Amino acid sequence: MSRFLRLGLPAATLFTLITCEVVTNGPLLRVDERLSRALVHPDRFSEFLADLGNAQVAVPVLVVALAYDAWRGRATGRGLWWLPPSAAALLMALLPAIVLPLKDWTARPGTPVMPPGTGFFPSGHTATAAIAYGSATLLLLPRLRSPAARRALVGCCAALVLGVSYGLVRRGWHWPLDVVASWCLSTVLLTALTLVISRSRHRSSSGTPGSGSVPGSAATSPGLAGRSGSRGSRTSSTPRSG
């Protein structure tokens, strides 16, 4: 819960403020439009970066991470091994149901580069990249023992999301605030996923019985061990007939 208060709550607050600005056509949109005009410069490289946020690219990466985490969890016999990959898959599946109503409600038009139309806030490509690559990172991080490997994985995830964001703005496919709002929304969702993953793995690790204990055996039943020991002592003290 403290992690949600540190990350999720500020992100949710910022997302709400940006959304209010978009709905009310607030003064922050003027700054956003000026920034967009300064950054837009369509080229092949920006288009390539933006395409990394396509579902056809990002979702298969998550599927590989889901399969690997499920395979490792089941192989190690960890309790609730299915919960983290299932939660990540569910979050990815529910993302359109979260983003599309926001697009319809805000009805923000696109940049001058885009044809007439609405539904550009928040950025769906940015949210897809953040949730797919972010969820894959959260699943794989506990599997890595080296701190350097963990830092490399987090850095790779951040580079992918930032690359998609830059490509969308540079190409003119989204306003900068569209992208920032998706960062905030994705932070809230990934923070919730982090809580699910950490709690499920904590419960599974604390609830796994030790390898040397067998339920019902004399070694794990003090009462049986005591009674058998007392019977053995009485038998050994009885004199033999000769």
What is the torsional sign of CA 155, 177, 14, 94?
negative
User: How high is the pLDDT of residue 199?
Assistant: 83
Residue 157 CA to residue 224 CA, distance in Å, equals 56
Average pLDDT over residues 113-127: 96
pTM of the model as a whole? 0.82
Closest to 106 in 3D by CA, of 25, 168, 172: 25
In order of 1, 8, 26, 178, the CA distances from 12 in angstroms are 15, 6, 19, 15
For the stretch 185-212, pLDDT in tens is 999 999 999 999 888 877 666 554 443 3
Question: What are the backbone dihedrals phi and psi of residue 109, each rounded to the nearest 5 degrees, phi first?
Answer: -70, 165
Residues 6 or more apart whose CB falls under 8 angstroms from that of 56 comprise none
Mean pLDDT score of the chain, rounded to an integer?
86
- Do the Cβ atoms of 178 and 19 come closer than 8 Å? no
Residues 6 or more apart whose CB falls under 8 angstroms from that of 166 comprise 46, 49
